[in-house]
Structure 1
C-alpha cells in the first residue's frame, strides 16, 4: 500500500463520516451500532468496506428523506438486519 493509497483511503473515510453525521440522530446511533457489529463479526471479504457501509448510508438517507423512522428501515432486530447483509459472505 502506497502513501497515495493511504491518503485516498483517509479522504474516502472522512467523506463517509461526513455522510453519517448528516443523518438524523436516531439513524446515526443505529448506523454506529451496525458498523461496530460488522467490524466485530465482519466478513473476511470485507476488504472494500465502502461498498457495504455506503450502501447502508444510501438506504438510511432515503429512509430519512421519506420521513421513516430508522426501525422502519432496518426492522426492530438490527443484528438480524446485519446478518442478512452478510449472509452470503465468509465471516
Structure 2
C-alpha cells in the first residue's frame, strides 16, 4: 500500500470489492450471515474502517471454510451473531465509536458545567 492509496482509501475499496466477490460465491444462508456480520462489525469501525479489514477477512474466511465443510451457520456462529461479532472485534463489552463519542460528550459537558460553577 502506498501513501496515495492510504490517503484516498482506494486500497480499502479494492479490498471491499474482493470481499463482496468472495461473499457472492457463498450459499444464500451464508451470504445472509455475512450481511449481519458486516452490520454488527461496522459499529466498531474507526473513522476509516481500516481497523475492520483483517477482522472482516477472517470472518469471511470462516464462512467460506464452514460452507466448504458443509457445516451449518448455526453450528459455527451460534444464535447470537452480535455476540460473535463483539468477540471478534475485541471481546464482549468492547467499546464502539458511539461509546467513545458519548464519553467525550459527557466529559465536555462536565467541563463546561464546572467552568460555569454548576
TM-score by shorter chain over 0.5:
yes
Deviation readout 1:49-79 (Å, 9 max, x if unpaired): 2200000011111100110111111011111
Please give the residue correspondences for 1:2-81 in structure 2 after superposition, counting only pairs within 5 Å.
Answer: 2=4, 4-5=5-6, 6-40=9-43, 42-44=44-46, 47-81=50-84
| Greater C-alpha radius of gyration | 2
Q: Which has the higher contact order (CA 8 A, sep 6+)?
A: 1
Show structure 1 runs of 5+ residues with no match. Answer: none
Asked if the contact 1:43–1:90 (Cα under 8 Å) also holds between the matched residues in 2, the reply is: no
Q: Distance in 2 between matches of 1:23 and 1:15?
A: 13
**How large is the Cα RMSD of the aligned pairs?**
2.2
Quick one: structure 1 residues 72 and 49, their matched pair in 2 at CA, closer, same or farther if it must change by over 3 Å? same
**2:103 matched residue in structure 1:** none
Give the structure-1-normalised TM-score: 0.81
Name the SS for the 1:48 alignment partner: helix
Q: When the two structures are aligned, how many residues end up with a matched partner?
A: 89
My pick for the range that moved more, 8-17 or 44-53, is 44-53
